[in-house]
Structure 1
Amino acid sequence: MHRDTVASFPFIATGMEKGCRILAADIGGTRSRFACFDYAGGELGMGDVVRIPTAEATGFDDLLDRVRVAAPGAWARLTRQTDTGNDAPDTPDASVTAFAAFAVAGPVEEGARCLPPNIGWHIDLATTRGLPCAASLLNDFEAQGWACLLPGAQQCLQLLPGKPDATAPVAVVGAGTGLGKCLLLPGTPHRVLPSEGGHATFAFEGRAEAGYAAFAADRLGVGRLIGDDVLSGPGLSLLYAYHHGETLPPHEVAARLTGSDVVVEWFARFYGRTCRDWALHTLARGGVRIAGGVAASNPMLVQHGAFAEAFFDCPTHTHLLRTIPVSLVTNADAGLWGAAIFALLHAGARRTPR
């Protein structure tokens, strides 16, 4: 079990401070991750991670059923049962508080409902059957924001140096099945503001990019392109089709790319521009963190020189941008840690009864 300390957090939710068990989930458009955490003595420990292709589940209930089958022992512990490890009945363990925090890629209403734009089903905790304990939903990039508070959960690769201001916001942005964003606000306690900025219109520049925009809009059958269309796994496939005339799934595109490929240059430029604009929109002097599976699996997409060139391309605030450090989160399970931190801090305020 991987452990990290959270003893520095003075705002553990009531009922959780003496120890608890947490089911954390990071439910994305492509895959879903689940893990059980134990919190005791100021330390948070993560157990084995269960990974399930999201599209294989017919709904949220089915997804939970698959987790229950894949990890029956962990599920029993969440239901306050002590797994005896044999055929004898499990025994109650009422001394341990349990809570589930499900981070999902979409806007969340009242901590209980979500209609994810890139998943074929909705989530409503009020009608979900078989929840192992009290639970809450949060946006998947809100979880990435909370993960920024736990150094051990954030394995980062520095992309651009800077002089971070500890009293300023940290902007988080990342491409996966879609484009996610959030903002971590400093304070006592910290706050994380989720965003659906990935669904805002993407800003193309110049005649060459206008040609690509027309191609992509025609392929997708839309009148305008949003960030999700451009800076995402599907966006990478679309860009490859434009430059090379072949349509491939994102993982096959990634396997073919080299640092000299024009697709890498263009995608890096789009990524740098998006990070720059989010940093300026939020005045993120605390830094920019890049999360999401696309860059974590293919670092060249943010290490290419076109990324830095686009990030600093601002006629009025280049000096400001050079003070903002940019780093790449390489821990694929950061969202799980963030969901667990959310549970520790907010379980008493945002929960759906069983």
Structure 2
Amino acid sequence: MGLVLAVDIGGTNSRFAAFESGPGHKLVMKETVWLSSVEARSFDHLMEMLAASDFPYSPSDFDVTVIAVAGPVIGGVYCNVTNVDWDVDFRGGYKKYGFNAAVLINDFAAQAYACRTPAVEGCRIIHDVEISPIGTVGVIGAGTGLGHCALVPVPVSELGYVPVPSEGGHISFPCQTADELDFCEFVMDKRKISYCCGDEVLTGRGLNMLHLYLTGEDLEPKMVAEKMKQGGKTLEWYSRFTARCCRNYAITVCATGGLYIAGGIVAKNPFVIEQSVFMEEFLDSSSMGDLLKQIPVFLNDNQESGLYGAALRGVLHI
């Protein structure tokens, strides 16, 4: 038995959970608390916010703390967190926070680990084909940022898989038509950026940009999502763009072990992937159509799955 503190720091929320671990990587969530990443001025301030919350544990109570952060993790000890104005820096050690042991991982590595926990037991099936037991698992999702990670089979590892994080949300967006290229030029001009990437298209701010381009309405992302419930061009484009990025990543990692769509936007607005255009676009490949037909697709709408994934990584450390 061991006690794990799992932390999932995103651009909007920072989630904390205490887990008990048991034989066979069993996880039991005990207590959770959600704090605002936006209100935190630094990681130190976030830990002060945790201490002031009603979370009934202190960091020293845990055998290991695993912190999943949005952004590239350097050397396992540093991350300049994407979409907030602070970093997590353990280069000088982590003892000052009271941790007995600490592990820093990418937030979508945690989402990938979560695919081997009860967090995905209630996943919605989008493309119902057989899962390959030896296939790579792909995870992709958009919220404040666009995350990717693959879980690759490695039989000699303790879990049987290892996560391969990615910053694929920052590569050039896959435009295919003149109108889409015009949209990307629009985003580049509005955002004053050198190229258009998935982080600027599929995220919350991307919803704002897409709707503004298509309709001239400058609305908050939540309002855009409400409007999309009624259908229309913004929904059609967003659904197609989501499917295209899912298709590209599924092909990139040969995700015959399943492609899991996570992240806040689609989880909260599942109608995005209920559109016929979604599966039409996902399966549309003249060269890899047969592969795509063999890739199961799931929607993971469990908002605490990142905590389960971080906890599993902690169990592997104990």
TM-score, normalization by structure 1: 0.84
| Larger displacement relative to structure 2 (220-229 or 249-258) | 249-258
Number of the residue aligned with 1:54: 37
Stretch moving more, 175-184 or 300-309: 300-309
> Which residue does 2:152 correspond to in 1?
185
CA contact (8 A) 2:31 2:55 kept: no
Q: How many residues align?
A: 311
The one-letter code matched in structure 2 to 1:309 is: E
Matched residue, 1:105? 70
Report the counterpart of residue 231 of structure 1 in structure 2: 202
**Is 2:82 the counterpart of 1:117?**
yes
**1:312 equivalent in alignment to 2:295:** no
| Corresponding residue of 1:25 | 7
Q: CA deviation at 1:117?
A: 2.8
Q: What is the one-letter code of the residue matched to 2:148?
A: K
* TM superposition shift of 1:154: 4.2
1:11-53 residue CA offsets vs partner (Å, 9 max, x unmatched): xxxxxxxx11111011001111111111235532112321112
Corresponding letter in the other structure for 1:26: D
Deviating more after overlay: 146-155 vs 226-235: 146-155
Tell me if 1:39 matches 2:21. Answer: yes
Instruction: Name which of 302, 315, 328 aligns with 2:299.
Output: 328
Answering whether residue 270 of structure 2 is matched by residue 299 of structure 1, we say: yes
Partner of 1:145: 112
State how 1:265-304 maps to structure 2 within 5 Å.
265-304=236-275
2:53 equivalent in structure 1: 70
Q: 2 CA distance for matches of 1:255 and 1:131?
A: 43
Structure 2 residue runs without a partner (length 5+): none
- Structure 1 residue matching 2:97: 3-state secondary structure: coil
Aligned amino acid, residue 182 of structure 1: C
Secondary structure of 2:38's match?
helix
C-alpha separation in 2, matches of 1:247 and 1:47: 42
AA in 2 matched with 1:181: H
Which runs of 5 or more structure 1 residues have no equivalent in the other structure?
1-18, 81-96, 348-354
Paired amino acid for 1:74: Y
| Distance in 1 separating the partners of 2:100 and 2:208 | 40
* Partners of 2:36 and 2:295 in 1: CA distance: 36
Distance in 2 separating the partners of 1:154 and 1:111 = 29
Greater gyration radius: 1
Aligned to 1:208: 179
Residue 152 of structure 1 deviates from its aligned partner by 4.4
Aligned to 1:79: 60
Superposition CA RMSD, Å = 1.6
8 Å CA contact retained: 1:161, 1:323? no
Percent identity, please. Answer: 38
CA distance in 2, matches of 1:202, 1:133: 42
* Distance verdict in 2 for CA 1:49–1:255, change over 3 Å: farther
Tell me which moved more, 270-279 or 183-192. 183-192
